[in-house]
Amino acid sequence: MWNPDDHACRVDDVFARAPVLPVLAIERLDDAVPLARTLVEAGLPVLEVTLRTDCAIGAIARIARELPDAVVGAGTVLTPEDLIAVGEVGAAFAISPGATEPLYAVAREASLPWIPAVATASEVMVGLDHGHRRFKFFPAEAAGGVAALKGFAGPFPQVRFCPTGGIDAERAPRYLALSNVATVGGSWMVPGDALAARDWVRIGNLAREAAALRGR
């Protein structure tokens, strides 16, 4: 049964596990477990596997089954069908680049917490009307970045965000310093060429640096 306080608590539990949420696009199913293991062992246990590749659902299922220390969620959840599908394979949470009325409706019945994204104050207000207080802020840099989040803090003191989109190791600390930022999403610790080359050492080093980030 949908409960706004319970939902915010469940999302906070996920976001509190690490300062950074890696956003992953996994092209080869066999990369899923070694990549996730690399990130988890580097101190980034919360993972967003985007539904942008053919094997994404399989990747979520494998990570959920084989890596109990990972908190694997699904990203790029665009439809109610996506949300239902990722719940069935064991995703711990689902996150979207935006929000739709059908997703708000089906999320009330879902067993896993769904995190909508917002880019404007009006979208935050629609989310609040639905009982949501935790949002992805996407695309963070393009939608106003740190200044926009500072602006949201005034009218929406009860809201916390996971900014994502255009953030890297240099920019992340400025977001993490904000009181209304719970964690920061990004793909910078998994460069495309490193993943293609299965360079787990390089990814592990970038992930360790990300795991050590704090606000400043």
Ligand X SMILES: O=C(O)C(=O)C[C@H](O)[C@H](O)COP(=O)(O)O
Catalytic residues: 48, 136
As a whole number of Å, the end-to-end CA separation of the chain is: 39
What residues from 77 to 106 belong to the interface with ligand X (CB under 6 A)?
A: 97
Residue with smaller CB distance to ligand X, 178 or 210 = 210
Contact 84, 102 (CB under 8 A): no
Residue with smaller CB distance to ligand X, 58 or 97 = 97
Q: 8, 23, 26, 60: which one contacts ligand X (CB under 6 A)?
A: 23
Q: 19, 145, 186, 204: which one contacts ligand X (CB under 6 A)?
A: 186
Residue with smaller CB distance to ligand X, 175 or 188 = 188
Total residues at the site for ligand X (CB under 6 A)? 15
Question: Which residue carries 């917490």 as its tokens?
Answer: 113
Question: Which residue carries 């890297």 as its tokens?
Answer: 168
Residue with smaller CB distance to ligand X, 9 or 196 = 196
Q: At what angle do helices 145-153 and 121-129 cross, to 10 degrees?
A: 50
164 is a contact residue toward ligand X (CB under 6 A): yes
Q: For residues 164 and 213, what is the distance between their CA atoms, to the nearest angstrom?
A: 15
**Which of helix, strand or coil describes residue 156?**
coil
Q: 104, 138, 152, 161: which one contacts ligand X (CB under 6 A)?
A: 138
Q: 19, 75, 145, 204: which one contacts ligand X (CB under 6 A)?
A: 75
Q: For residues 64 and 208, what is the distance between their CA atoms, to the nearest angstrom?
A: 22
- In degrees rounded to 5, what are phi and psi of residue 115? -115, 110
Least separation in angstroms between CB 189 and ligand X: 9
- In degrees rounded to 5, what are phi and psi of residue 15? -65, -25
- List residues binding ligand X (CB under 6 A): 23, 50, 52, 75-76, 97, 138, 164-167, 185-188
